[in-house]
Amino acid sequence: MKKNNLIKLLATILITVFFCGKAYSASKDLLKIDWSFAGITGKFERDSLQRGYQVYKEVCASCHSMQYLSYRNLSQKGGPEFTLEEAKAIAASYEVEDGPNSDGDMFTRPGRPSDHFVSPYPNVNAATAANGGAYPPDMSVLVKARPGGANYIYSVLMGYEEKPIGFILEDGVYYNKYMDGNKIKMPSPLSDDLIEYSDGTNASQLQMAKDVTAFLTWAAEPHLEARHRTGTKVIIYLILLATLVYFSMKRLWSRINTEE
C-alpha cells in the first residue's frame, strides 16, 4: 500500500514538473537532431566543434560577441581541442587593445591565448545601432538561454522560409518558422558553400548549422564531457554503496525481527 502511495506521489510530482516545463516553453515543435552530446555518455565530436568554430569565426563573429570565452579554451580538453600552437595562432590573428602602458597610453598588440574572444563591437549600444536596432546576443551561453537549447538554435538556423501570403514583414525583418512571432531581424546567416571548411567537408547549410550548434553548445557548457563522465562514476558508486548499506541494514534489523 505504502509503496503504491510512494509511486503515485512521485509520479504526480514528475508529471507536474513535466507540465511546468511544458508551460514554460510553450513553443512550436522544434527540429530535433540526434546530437552526439546528448544522453548520459554524450560527447562532442572534435571535428564538428572545430568546423563549428570556423563557422562562428567566419560568419557569426562579425555581429555576435562571445565574451566569456578565451582563445585558450579552444585547446582545452573536452572542447574543439585545437593544439596549443593552433590556439596561439588563432589568438595572434586578432588585435587586442591593452594598456595603459607606462606612458599612460592604450595600445594594441596581437592576441594571446589568455585573451577573451574579441568582440565585434565596442559595446551593446554600438552593436544594436549597427544592426537595425536589434542587439545580436552574446553567444557564450546562448544555448542555455533559450528553451529547447541546441535544437532551438539549429531550428532557427534552418527555419528561414518564404513568408506566407498575407504575412506582413517590416523592412529588415525576415520570416523564420521557429522564432516567436515568426519574425527575426537577422537575415538567414547560412547558405550552401558560404565558407570553405579547412578539413574539406562539404559546407552545406545543414552541415554548417549542425557544426555551429555543436560549437555553441560546447561554448555554453565547456565541461559537459567531464560532467557526464563524473556523473556516471558517481551514480555507479552510489548504487554500489547503497547495495552494501542495504544488506547491512537487513542484517542489523534482522536482530529486531527475530526477537518478536
DSSP conformational letter for 245: H
One of 7, 16, 36, 192 touching another protein (CB under 8 A): 16
- Identify residues 159-218 at the interface with another protein (CB under 8 A): 180
Orientation of helix 205-220 relative to helix 149-158, angle to 10°: 150
Q: Which stretch binds another protein (CB under 8 A): 1-9, 167-175, 183-191, 203-211?
A: 1-9
> What backbone phi and psi angles, to 5 degrees, belong to 245?
-65, -35
By beta-carbon proximity to another protein, the closer residue of 83 and 232 is 232
Instruction: Say how many C-beta atoms besides its own lie within 10 A of residue 119's C-beta.
Output: 16
The three-class DSSP label of residue 183 is: strand
130 sits near another protein (criterion: CB under 8 A) = no
> Segment 70-99, which members bind another protein (CB under 8 A)?
73
DSSP code at position 204: -
CA-based torsion, 220, 225, 230, 232: positive or negative: positive
Residue 107: helix, strand or coil by DSSP?
strand
Closer to another protein by CB, 162 or 259: give it. Answer: 259
Residue 249 touches another protein, criterion: CB under 8 A: yes
In the shown chain, the binding pattern of residues 33 to 72 toward another protein, with x for contact by CB under 8 A and - for none, equals -------x---------------------------x----
> Residue 107 CB, nearest distance to another protein (Å)?
25
